[in-house]
Amino acid sequence: MYKKTILENGLRIITHPMKRMQSAALGIWIKVGGRYETPDYKGIAHFLEHLAFKGSKKYSCRRIKESIEGVGGSLNGFTSEELTCYLVKLPNLHLGLALDVLSDMVINPILHPEEIGKERTVIQEEIKMYKDLPQSYVYELLDELLWPNQPLGMTIIGTVESISRINKENLSLFKNQYYVPSNIVVSAAGLLEHNKFTNRIRNIFSSLKSRNVSTFLRVKEEQHQPQLKLLHKDTEQTHLALGFHSFRRDHPLRYALGLLHIILGANMSSRLFNELREKRGLAYEIGTQVKYFQDTGAFIVHAGIDNRKVNESVKLILKELEKAKHKLISIDEFKRAKEFYLGQLALSLEETLDNMLWIGESTATLDEVYSLKDITKKINKIRREDIRKVADYIFQEKSLNLALIGPFKDSEQSLYSQLKARLR
């Protein structure tokens, strides 16, 4: 199903040929992101990703977009804590064009001073925009609690101050340090032939030399008591993000954690959705999220809550987390969670773009790719007791972190006193 080749210079190629598809999706992944940065130059990985779209040696900014969109394709990129990705989806006949465009963006971005200046302003406005969106900004406050004074606890996009000091020399040095073959994965899925695709990549990348790449600092997690961060803002509802330190990306219990996420907050059948929205009408939006990194992770509950009922809502959320620690889930709920996990994964893997993202991220982070069959076996080995064990390990009072944005009347100390000792 999946085919992998490693070039002599260390660049990894992973494909999933899908014979019945008319499309192809391509991604070039660089193993670098927000947590590789220093505080003084926070946001440089994201800044560089933006600038790659502003013109390369062979393609102007306009030609980059027109080349892909002119054949019916779509072009995008993103920067996360540990990865940067440039991606395209288009009719399979034009896969060679997509590879030529993306590779030139990655290898030969122009980094013109005028474009750097313009994009600096764009990103600074983006930073301001997120601060004006409490439903997004509350996650930044939570990250600061989870990983204080560490790159992982700082926003990927950077600050107005850090973006102000990044110049062409900084960007060039950063690119030369991390955009090297041994730090790159090229993934593709759709109607393609692996050997032909690999030869094209070899022709483009084989002349590039690899060198050692510095990695990120491992996180320090020394939390000994619950933490609360409030931001007073005149909003129509209170935005909440509650988080606990959790498992790293390859932890043996990560699939049990995935089922716990489904049971508590991944869909409209979940416990939190049912208790807070359906039964009591306390929130419109309520759910959970799981973050995985190389050396750590986080389990997050997020919600938009009636301003008058923050304490009641938090109390109910903690009650549901507490219940998961001490009581086995029902056989029926367990079965539905497993079916939802595998069903959602199967549906996503019908699509070329999701397949490309799946195999690319897995190869870049774990250097392996599990098939749906592999994961089905792992899910079927999980017991109900494993889910209770995961909940008991993660949901500890000392590890509780709560970020809130809203028009609070109570002081932070008053709210903290009310919340402390709810998780035992």
CA angle 279, 283, 285 (to 5 degrees): 115
CA distance 255 to 375: 9
Dihedral sign for Cα 366, 182, 356, 48, please. positive
Determine whether 49 is an active site residue.
yes
Q: H/E/C letters for each residue in 157-224?
A: CCCHHHHHHCCHHHHHHHHHHHCCHHHEEEEEEECCCHHHHHHHHHHHHCCCCCCCCCCCCCCCCCCC
SS3 at position 368: coil
Cβ–Cβ under 8 Å, residues 331 and 313: no
Token readout for 100 is 């030529």
Q: SS3 for 61? A: helix
3-state secondary structure of 3: strand
**Spatial distance between the Cα atoms of 178 and 29, rounded to a whole number of angstroms:** 11
Q: What is the DSSP string of 258-318?
A: HHHHHHHHSSTTSHHIIIIIIIT--EEEEEEEEEE-SS-EEEEEEEEEEGGGHHHHHHHHH
* 202 contact partners, CB below 8 Å, separation of at least 6: 7
DSSP label at 328?
P
Catalytically annotated residue among 37, 49, 275, 333: 49
> In this structure, are residues 51 and 106 in contact, taking their beta carbons and an 8 Å threshold?
no
Q: Which long-range contacts (CB under 8 A, 24 or more apart) does 2-10 make?
A: 2/359, 2/369, 2/371, 3/194, 4/363, 4/369, 5/194, 5/198, 7/181, 7/201, 7/202, 7/205, 7/206, 8/206, 9/181, 9/182, 9/205, 9/206, 9/208, 9/209, 9/210, 10/181, 10/182, 10/210
Contact 392, 243 (CB under 8 A): no
| Catalytic machinery residues | 49
